[in-house]
């Protein structure tokens, strides 16, 4: 009776398939929503935020990022409560906006790399949007990471200079972000 020995190429091929399954299937199931930025968590009340050591008020905080102090602006919402009950008791943290300073191409690419190491780019701006931005028809460019929960934004100011912001937003706002933007085309390896 003939017994076939498995050669190394067959075993290597099997390991390759298992690796592909792990790389493409497991992350899709294990991706957890982002719950905020550092100690700022979505759903916190203004009082809880103001009690944090980096926050001077419930609207502003300061963090050291990339060897510089960065101002963080906070936005609150009612998280589904009716507009009539919009008192300060119902407000919850929904957005954390980090001012990353003046735009330079080098700094923008550096931020892309920093964010790309931690998050998946899921929604990039299109060539059409970039053309509109260069023609000064569009005031901001936005690239979304992790289905819009983290957004890298280039904003043109009134006098023409540009600034960079990184925005962390709760899942409800991220859903609104991705509804407005097409997903990037799938690339072939």
Q: Where are the domains of the chain?
A: 36-179
pLDDT tens digits, one per residue of 45-71: 999 999 999 998 889 999 988 888 999
Mean pLDDT score, 78-105: 78
| Better-scored residue on pLDDT, 148 or 181 | 148
Average pLDDT of the chain is: 80
Helices (H) and strands (E) in the chain, counts: 5, 9
Q: Which pLDDT value is given to residue 18?
A: 40
Three-state SS across 93-152? Answer: EEEEEEEEEECCHHHHHHHHHHHHHHCCEEECCCHHHHHHHHCCCCCEEEEEECCCCEEE
Contact 150, 119 (CB under 8 A): yes
Mean pLDDT score, 135-144: 89
Whole-prediction pTM: 0.74
Cβ neighbourhood burial of 56 (10 Å; 0-12, 13-18, 19+): exposed
pLDDT at 162 over 50: yes
pLDDT tens digits, one per residue of 141-158: 999 999 999 999 999 988
Using alpha carbons only, how large is the chain's radius of gyration in Å? 22
pLDDT at 102 over 90: yes
Q: Which pLDDT value is given to residue 23?
A: 39
pLDDT at 5 over 60: no
pLDDT at 30 over 80: no
Contact 71, 99 (CB under 8 A): yes
């Amino acid at each position: 009776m003939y017994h076939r020995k498995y050669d190394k190429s067959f075993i290597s091929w099997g390991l390759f398939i298992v690796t592909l399954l792990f790389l493409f299937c497991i992350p899709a199931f294990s991706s957890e929503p982002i719950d905020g930025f550092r100690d700022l968590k979505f759903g916190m009340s203004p009082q809880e935020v103001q009690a944090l050591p980096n926050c001077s008020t419930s609207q502003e905080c300061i963090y050291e990022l990339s060897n510089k102090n960065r101002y963080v602006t906070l936005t609150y919402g009612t998280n589904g409560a009716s507009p009539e009950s919009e008192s300060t008791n119902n407000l919850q943290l929904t957005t954390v906006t980090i001012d990353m300073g003046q735009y330079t191409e080098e700094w923008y690419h550096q931020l892309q790399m920093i964010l790309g190491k931690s998050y998946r780019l899921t929604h990039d701006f299109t060539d059409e949007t970039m053309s509109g931005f260069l023609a000064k028809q569009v005031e901001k460019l936005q690239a979304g990471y992790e289905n819009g929960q983290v957004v890298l934004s280039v904003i043109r100011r009134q006098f023409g200079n540009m600034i960079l912001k990184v925005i962390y937003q709760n899942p409800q706002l991220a859903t609104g972000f991705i509804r407005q933007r097409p997903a990037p085309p799938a690339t072939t390896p």
